[in-house]
Amino acid sequence: MRIQFFLFIFGLSFLYSANAQSADTVLNEKEYFINAHAMAANSFNDSLLKQYTILFPEGIYLEKALENIDVCAWQNARYKNTMESYQNYLNNFPNGKAVQLAKKNINLFEKADSEK
């Protein structure tokens, strides 16, 4: 009877420990994502977002991180404002949120080149 009680208590403490660790992991994931998102928003640097996708491949914020990586790439392409930057965006994000805008800008560059 004592052994069963001990095993029961040990099982409860193990479950509590696992749940506490799980809560800590979620909190760490959230903090990491928030920092990565802030860095991306402030400087269009997606390196922490990419790292997030590696550290948390099934993370709670994975879809949002991937969307933000796309947005960063688009912002960088716009900042450079070259045909190559827009083409790189299309190559890396063929289904990205700004595909139509990138194609439009490439067409504008091509039209300007043909008018020369």
pTM, two decimal places? 0.75
Question: Residue 23's pLDDT is what?
Answer: 58
State both tokens at 19.
Answer: 């749940």
Count other C-beta atoms under 10 Å from residue 67's C-beta. 14
The domain ranges of the chain are 32-114
For the segment 37-58, the average pLDDT, to the nearest whole number, is 92
Question: Residue 57's pLDDT is what?
Answer: 95
- How far is residue 40's CA from residue 11's CA, in Å, rounded to a whole number? 43
H/E stretch holding 25 reads helix 2-43
